[in-house]
Amino acid sequence: MTAEPPPTLVVRGLTKRFGGVTALSEVDLEVGRGEVVAIVGENGAGKSTVVNVLSGMCRADGGTILLDDVRVRIDSPGRAHSLGISTVFQGLALCENLDVVKNLFLGREIGSFWMDESTMERQSTQLLRQIFSTVSRVRDRVGDLSGGQRQTVAIARTLLGNPSIVILDEPTAALGTTQRMQVLDQITQLRARGLGVIMISHNLDDVGAVADRVVVLRHGRNNGVFQVASTTAEQVHHAMTGAVPTRSLFGQGRSRGRHQAG
Ligand SMILES: Nc1ncnc2c1ncn2[C@@H]1O[C@H](COP(=O)(O)OP(=O)(O)OP(=O)(O)O)[C@@H](O)[C@H]1O
Ligand SMILES: [Mg+2]
């Protein structure tokens, strides 16, 4: 039997309070290289709070975070970025009036007095190709792109700086079927590149399609960790809510490799 490589990110006992509200209580989480871990839970379960702590947007009150076995403090978004943790927040935070290149390099422009536009343009095309994005004209305004294409620009942006962990908060919310499939496909590309991916989702079909493991949060606590390949959606739903649904299983349209959509 070969030993498993240690997980890239290990979170232990993460606790976060907002005044009298305990948003997270002793939460554990592990993400390995080339692994997609979904975090699911009902509204208020604490999902975004985990994202915010790991991306340096807010500080935890307790717990430890290890990256490649080294304990780290993530006390600012800049620190998260320099540690190789890159996040796509649910609102995407793209500037609609700027083109794709400017959005990708916003705040991280190449060049000194003069921007090195041709290098940024070339790297933008390469970044988008890496995740098989359908965005081909990098001088188009982001406001003219479809919702799915905007999501792919936001995903491509995370790859700047060679992160080891990418966090996606509700990456497929509000997308139509084709665009959803494209974004799910890009998540499999991130995994194929050896990144650890944390995906927050309300959609158990999407979780079943791309995640390797599912971490369930309930009322700010861990309430089960499941291997997708050997778990039914019912089991996950039950852990999320305590209720038994009538819907069927994971496994429809599961995307292990690349499937070109659109
Ligand atoms: N900045 C804040 N100030 C006060 N309470 C907060 C703050 N952020 C989160 N909370 C509370 O912490 C708990 C967890 O919230 P969180 O946003 O992490 O849940 P979530 O799982 O992301 O929910 P949703 O699915 O609705 O996005 C909730 O009770 C929420 O009201
Ligand atoms: Mg949330």
Asked whether residue 61 is assigned to any structural domain, the reply reads no
Per residue in 207-231, pLDDT tens?
A: 999 999 999 999 999 999 999 999 9
Domain count of the fold of the chain: 1
Determine the structural domain holding residue 22 and report its residue range: 9-50+75-241
Asked whether residue 209 is assigned to any structural domain, the reply reads yes
Measured by CA distance, the residue closest to atom 25 of ligand 1 is 43
Our mutation pick for probing the ligand 1 site, out of 14, 15, 18, counting the most ligand atoms within 8 A of Cβ, is 18
pLDDT score of 12: 97
- The rounded Cα 245 to chain-centroid distance in angstroms is 27
d(CA 102, CA 142): 9
Tell me, what amino acid is at 134?
T
Asked whether residue 253 is assigned to any structural domain, the reply reads no
Measured by CA distance, the residue closest to atom 3 of ligand 1 is 18
Check: CB of residue 213 under 8 Å from CB of residue 195.
no
- CA 171 to ligand 2 center in whole angstroms: 12
Asked whether residue 82 is assigned to any structural domain, the reply reads yes
Measured at the alpha carbon of residue 257, what is the angle toward residues 163 and 175, in degrees to the nearest 5?
75
21 lines ligand 1 (CB under 6 A): yes
Query: For the chain, what is the radius of gyration of the CA atoms?
Result: 18
Asked whether residue 60 is assigned to any structural domain, the reply reads no
Packing angle of the helix pair 147-158, 177-192 (nearest 10 deg)? 10
pLDDT in tens, the chain (262 residues): 555 666 799 999 999 999 999 999 999 999 999 999 999 999 999 999 999 999 999 999 999 999 999 999 999 999 999 999 999 887 777 788 899 998 888 877 666 656 677 888 898 988 888 877 778 888 989 889 888 888 888 888 888 878 999 999 888 887 788 888 888 988 998 999 899 999 999 889 999 999 999 999 999 999 999 999 999 999 999 999 987 655 555 654 454 444 333 3
Relative to the alpha carbon of 46, which ligand is closest? Answer: 1
SS3 letters for 190-205?
HHHCCCEEEEECCCHH
- CA 74 to ligand 1 center in whole angstroms: 19
Asked whether residue 255 is assigned to any structural domain, the reply reads no
Asked whether residue 173 is assigned to any structural domain, the reply reads yes
pLDDT score of 68: 93
Tell me, what amino acid is at 16?
K
pLDDT score of 110: 67
pLDDT score of 215: 97
CATH number at 204 reads 3.40.50.300
pLDDT score of 225: 96
Asked whether residue 23 is assigned to any structural domain, the reply reads yes
84 lines ligand 1 (CB under 6 A): no
